[in-house]
Each structure stands twice: as structure tokens, then as C-alpha cells.
């Protein structure tokens, strides 16, 4: 799978899992643990994908800590807007995660194999 397709496929997977959790019946005994896992894993997967320059352990730690931070921020926004519920939390995390993964896919596909310097974007750093 090419580097441009991975984030788009991840966005589709996040959206599918989030949609399935939203449509699951409330009486399902595994719904609460799956919701908690999704709320932690979806932003972590997005952050893990967006940090290609780090080694695997550093990416994992940063992704997990960033996931907790993103969830706290989104929960606070939902509470301030008086829209908090489990379904709203899953919907917001799904939308934010999918949008971020698609945002990661667009510059990768745009830059192509030639890189950003070939498209007139100046390089930073040493000359």
C-alpha cells in the first residue's frame, strides 16, 4: 500500500468503526469498553501516522499522550457547548480523526515522488 493511500484507508477504518459503535444497541455488554478503546485508539492511530520521523517507541508514547490530550480537549468543547453524550463523543472523535487522516493524505499525494521542492516550495534549514 502506498504512503498516500494509508492515511485515507485509516480514515475509512476510523469512520467505519465509529459508525458501527454509534449504531450498536445501548444494551450491548461490550459497548462501553469498545467505546473507551475507540476513543483512545482512534486519535492515537492518527497521531502515530502523522509522526513518521520518530522511532516506534517514541511515536507510540507521543501518540497515546496526544490521544488523551485530544480526547480531553474534545470532551471540554462538547461540555462547553452542552452537547455531551457518549454518542456525541464518538461522532466528534470519528469526524476529527477522519479529517486529520485525510489531511495527512492530501499533502502526500500532492507532493508526489518528486517532493515539495520540485513544486516550488522552498526548503528550510541549511542551503
What pLDDT does 122 receive? 59
Please give the Cα distance from 18 to 20 (Å, whole number).
5
- Tell me the Ramachandran region of residue 120: left when phi exceeds 0, alpha when psi lies from -120 to 50, beta otherwise: left
What pLDDT does 51 receive? 84
Per-residue pLDDT of 31-81, as tens digits, reads: 778 778 888 888 888 888 888 888 889 988 999 999 999 999 999 999 999
What pLDDT does 73 receive? 92
Q: Is the pTM of this model over 0.75?
A: no
In this predicted structure, the answer to whether residue 114 has a pLDDT above a threshold of 70 is no
**DSSP letters of 42-109?**
HHHHHHHHH-TTS-HHHHHHHHHHHHHHHHHHHHHHHHHTT---HHHHHHHHHHHHHHHHHHHHHHHH
Amino acid at each position: 500500500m502506498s504512503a498516500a493511500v494509508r492515511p485515507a484507508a485509516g480514515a475509512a477504518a476510523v469512520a467505519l468503526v465509529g459508525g458501527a459503535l454509534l449504531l450498536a444497541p445501548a444494551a450491548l455488554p461490550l459497548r462501553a469498553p469498545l467505546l473507551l478503546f475507540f476513543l483512545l485508539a482512534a486519535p492515537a492511530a492518527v497521531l502515530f501516522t502523522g509522526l513518521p520521523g520518530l522511532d516506534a517507541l517514541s511515536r507510540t508514547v507521543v501518540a497515546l499522550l496526544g490521544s488523551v490530550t485530544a480526547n480531553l480537549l474534545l470532551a471540554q468543547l462538547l461540555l462547553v457547548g452542552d452537547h455531551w453524550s457518549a454518542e456525541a463523543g464518538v461522532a466528534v472523535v470519528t469526524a476529527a480523526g477522519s479529517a486529520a487522516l485525510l489531511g495527512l493524505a492530501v499533502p502526500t499525494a500532492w507532493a508526489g515522488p518528486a517532493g515539495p521542492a520540485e513544486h516550488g516550495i522552498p526548503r528550510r534549514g541549511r542551503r
